[in-house]
């Protein structure tokens, strides 16, 4: 499923993170790597089935909710 959110999210992240102190930038880099970019681990693997929320698959219902 495609989403129109990645580019506005990138703009928001740039505005929110680029001028933070380096330690905070490093912390956010680790968080983003863990939740978004590291495909070798499922950050929701420890959660019971059906409770992953935003960490789960993007369903049409979730996509609609995100765009509101």
Q: Return d(Cα 38, Cα 32) in angstroms, integer.
A: 9
CB of 30 closer than 8 Å to CB of 41: no
Residue 57 lies in a domain: yes
The answer to whether the Cα torsion of 48, 53, 57, 62 is positive or negative is positive
Residue 1 lies in a domain: no
Name the phi and psi angles at 49, rounded to 5: -55, 135
The range of the structural domain enclosing residue 16 comes to: 6-66
Q: State percent of the chain over pLDDT 70.
A: 91
If one counts the domains in the chain, the total is: 1
Confidence of residue 40 (pLDDT cuts 50, 70, 90): very high
Residue 53 lies in a domain: yes
**pLDDT digit string (tens) for 20-37?**
999 999 999 999 999 999
Confidence of residue 8 (pLDDT cuts 50, 70, 90): confident
Is pLDDT at 3 greater than 80 in this prediction?
Answer: no
């Amino acid at each position: 499923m495609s989403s129109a959110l990645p580019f506005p999210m990138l703009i928001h992240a740039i505005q929110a993170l680029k001028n933070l102190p380096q330690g905070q930038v490093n912390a956010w880099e680790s968080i983003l790597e863990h939740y978004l970019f590291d495909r070798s681990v499922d950050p929701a693997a420890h959660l019971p089935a059906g409770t992953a929320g935003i960490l789960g698959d993007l369903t049409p219902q979730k996509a609609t909710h995100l765009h509101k």
